[in-house]
Structure 1
């Protein structure tokens, strides 16, 4: 008898099999969800049959430090991402105690695992695995240390709730779903964000950025929230690009780790372009760094940029470099200089500035075209 499943759970290694993955698997079952989890005792072709892939509605790859060590897991991920691209299958990744940047950049355990596979497998096969790993990093998922301060029980509850909600939505007749989708998109257009916050790392996410976000929202400002559960399963690059394009004000929080992220640098370059073409305001916060360090690319900013220079093309590097220099020369706030580093005072000043700009639409109008 053929069994159909709602969810495909992909995981590997002792770092998840008997812990987080097992907890998630049993929690999904307890919620009445039919879950298929891989069994490395079976050949991959026997596990992921065309019928199974056709019926599965959601795939949850749990990307852990040991995930890429398993050729079985990499084959699963390749098939999952292929179905996502060709058939629109939903993918909700969990990045379990890993840096997403390490996955795409082949660093740490991921670099070592792929190096080992290159010695045993065909070049084409390894290339497909690398593409699958890169593709899954572009989808918004859950980053385990960032969720509920690393409390895995709370993370599991969030995953189960999201999966259950998505399966309920899929069960709605197509006509009703289309009507709902139309009004949802209309509502999102009417309530598009006014402010985009850009930051990098736990040194800002859990203190200044969180406090600033809640303070802006309390002041009635619509702020793009990259932790919005609605973004799970979506192309995060596309969603962030749209948010930057729509907002009137961008606030990059330039901490010592900001330039370590190519995504943050790409966001910053887009902010600068929107400032030039649309008059979008950029209000930088130099968080425990000097603006001069950003402008002249000294200290960690220069070190990180040198690393990027070896990995990206010349035009991309130059865009990022120009963006850092331009924002570094902009008028903003140096956190250490605001009331002896009291962040509450800094947040109050930023909220007042943002509220004032939004109440004066003329300050946010696009620049007039130059007359030759």
Structure 2
């Protein structure tokens, strides 16, 4: 990965309730990319003095994962979403994605999707591995009348896949 300088000027849509702590928040499916692409990206960003949140590097023992991740997303200038084959099979990833897009709307956070080994149209249309993942995810939510959450995840995937990103 070539070294480059990252300069950010991000207009905020409303007062940010958290002080920005990170330049970048990485959202990814660990089993697909943690030990390959995500780790290399994290190391390259850090080597260029870009403060980056990656869950296994920043979480401390005893931290509750969900509130810690939500706060880290809110304290970041940019969120990079690494869409991979199994990203949609993780409710953690999908919840992160929804919160990232909320921060984009509310605070003007920059969101950059990366399509790692997956076509953007698979994410956008939720077919292929994403269709399989949603078939499995929907079952427990149908029983609990929680299909609104599933609709929210689907809308977030479509919105994020329509953003200008990297393939």
TM superposition score category, shorter chain reference: 0.7 to 0.9
1:302 and 2:131 equivalent? yes
Give distance in 2, aligned partners of 1:333 and 1:222.
20
Deviating more after overlay: 301-310 vs 222-231: 222-231
Residue 319 (structure 1) aligned with residue 148 (structure 2): no
1:238 Cα deviation from its structure 2 partner: 0.7
Q: Which runs of 4+ in 1 moved over 6 A?
A: none
Contact 1:191-1:222 at 8 Å conserved across structures: no
TM-fit CA distance, 1:273: 1.1
Using the TM superposition, give the Cα deviation of residue 225 of structure 1 relative to its aligned residue in structure 2, in angstroms.
Answer: 2.6
The CA deviation at 1:222 is: 0.7
By how many angstroms is 1:201 displaced? 3.0
Structure 2 counterparts to residues 43-192 of structure 1, below 5 A? 192=21
1:308 Cα deviation after fit: 1.2
What are the ranges of 5 or more consecutive residues in structure 2 without an aligned counterpart? 1-17
Q: Is the 8 A contact 2:20 2:76 kept in 1?
A: no
Structure 2 CA distance for aligned equivalents of residues 190 and 279 of structure 1: 14
Q: Is the 1:193–1:243 Cα contact (8 Å) retained in structure 2? A: yes
Instruction: Work out the CA distance in 1 between the residues paired with 2:47 and 2:93.
Output: 26
Tell me if the contact between 1:194 and 1:249 (Cα under 8 Å) persists in the aligned partners.
yes
2:86 pairs with 1:271: no
Return the alpha-carbon distance in structure 1 between the equivalents of residues 58 and 32 of structure 2.
22
Pair 1:330 & 2:163 matched: yes
Larger relative contact order (CA 8 Å, sep ≥ 6): 2
Paired residues of 2:19 and 2:75 also in contact (CA < 8 A): no
Q: CA deviation at 1:220?
A: 1.1
Q: Distance in 2 between matches of 1:265 and 1:190?
A: 24
- Which has the larger share of helix? 1
Q: State the distance in 1 between where 2:19 and 2:138 align.
A: 40
**TM-score, with structure 1 as normaliser:** 0.38
Equivalent in the alignment of 2:10:
none
- Where does residue 11 of structure 2 map in the other structure? none
Deviations 1:94-127 (A, max 9, x none): xxxxxxxxxxxxxxxxxxxxxxxxxxxxxxxxxx
Q: Which has the larger radius of gyration?
A: 1
Equivalent residues, number: 146
Aligned to 2:33: 204
Q: Deviations over 1:70-107 (max 9, x none)?
A: xxxxxxxxxxxxxxxxxxxxxxxxxxxxxxxxxxxxxx
Partner in structure 2 of residue 288 of structure 1: 117
Aligned-partner Cα distance in 1 for 2:58–2:155: 33
CA RMSD of aligned residues (A): 1.6
Match of 1:132 in 2: none
